[in-house]
Structure 1
Amino acid sequence: MEVVLRKAGRTKIRYPARLLADDGTRVTVRAPWAGAGARDFGFVRFEPGDVFVEHFWRDRWYAVKEVYAPDGSLKGWYCDVTRPATLADGVLTVEDLDLDLWCSADRTTILRLDEDEFAASALPTADPAAAAAARRALDDLEHLARTAGLDRALGLTRPAAR
């Protein structure tokens, strides 16, 4: 299958993924790091060989990506605030709404990301209801990360990275 991440009406990235599960609400896929080379965010580095186990919901405004190093160790969870996912003809499509959350594997680093990009985007004025849903989703993700933990709260399993 293929994952398509759209942003502001355009395709930001598309990449192949292997379907792991689809229960009608949550779709889980596994994909290698799809970026060109390494990307260092300062708090985590994504690089060739990393594996992402990605969870997308048809009824929630976010996606949660478990990020594994090439040796299979969990780096953490990268969460995208998105519109609910759609799946049709082997293509899983999500619309990125700029807001993100990072939670390290040891849960000591939890960061809200890109709030400035979100505020500068057209979404808050063009679609206030979607903007409010996006803000709630980020708040919900942060709450889950700081309390029960994303993996436990969302029922995420840790399949082998390979």
Structure 2
Amino acid sequence: MSANSAEPAAQVEVVLVKGGRTKIRYPAELLADDGVRLAVRAPWAGAGVRDFGFVRFEPGDLFTEYYWRDRWYSVKEVRAGDGTVKGWYCDITRPAVLSGGELVVEDLDLDLWRSADGTDVRRLDEDEFAESGLAETDPVAASAAVAALDALETLAREQGFGALLA
């Protein structure tokens, strides 16, 4: 294939599962898959605006999302419609599974946000995680989830996600 080839980008359907149910499903462009890490790009798939108070996700935002088959998290770079980086939203998940054209990820409730300038790093939804009962029903997964959140927070505070996503 030549460098000037106009091959269409591969498409996948990202399927986010939470509590055994599909929470959201959306099409994404598959940017890379090295066998361990996958990268996809998709516009904001939510309905309308989602205002968290510290960031707003809205139509026109573009997400470049990184998933791992051997790690308990995903990292999503969020850009505004004008290309400005808003920050990184991280979901604590079971390792991703790509099967056929579906990229399936099980959300474990814990999240982390890092602003573009790195001044705002916050853990999110720890109350939801506690209420989920995962610590009782699957203590190994719960332990892996907490360890993943701790590792991401350390990385976000100390150096950001540049090396992780390069």
Q: Please tell me the residue identity of whatever aligns with 1:86.
A: V
Q: 1:75 aligns with which of 44, 63, 86?
A: 86
Residue matched to 1:85: 96
Are 2:74 and 1:63 aligned?
Answer: yes
Structure-1-length-normalised TM-score: 0.94
Q: Which has the larger radius of gyration?
A: 2
Percent sequence identity over aligned pairs: 71
Instruction: Give the secondary-structure state (helix, strand or coil) at the position aligned to 1:116.
Output: helix
Are 2:64 and 1:53 aligned?
Answer: yes
Offset of residue 102 of structure 1: 0.1
Deviations for 1:2-50, whole angstroms, at most 9, x for unmatched residues? 0000001000000000000000000000000000000100010000000
Offset of residue 127 of structure 1: 0.1
The whole-number CA distance in structure 1 between the counterparts of 2:68 and 2:50 is 26
Unaligned runs of 5+ in 2: 1-11
Instruction: Give the secondary-structure state (helix, strand or coil) at the position aligned to 1:64.
Output: strand
Offset of residue 150 of structure 1: 1.5
Instruction: Give the secondary-structure state (helix, strand or coil) at the position aligned to 2:17.
Output: strand
Unaligned runs of 5+ in 1: 158-162
* Number of aligned residue pairs: 155
The whole-number CA distance in structure 2 between the counterparts of 1:56 and 1:151 is 15
Are 2:118 and 1:107 aligned?
Answer: yes
Residue matched to 1:138: 149
Q: Please tell me the residue identity of whatever aligns with 1:59.
A: D
The whole-number CA distance in structure 2 between the counterparts of 1:83 and 1:89 is 18
Are 2:14 and 1:3 aligned?
Answer: yes
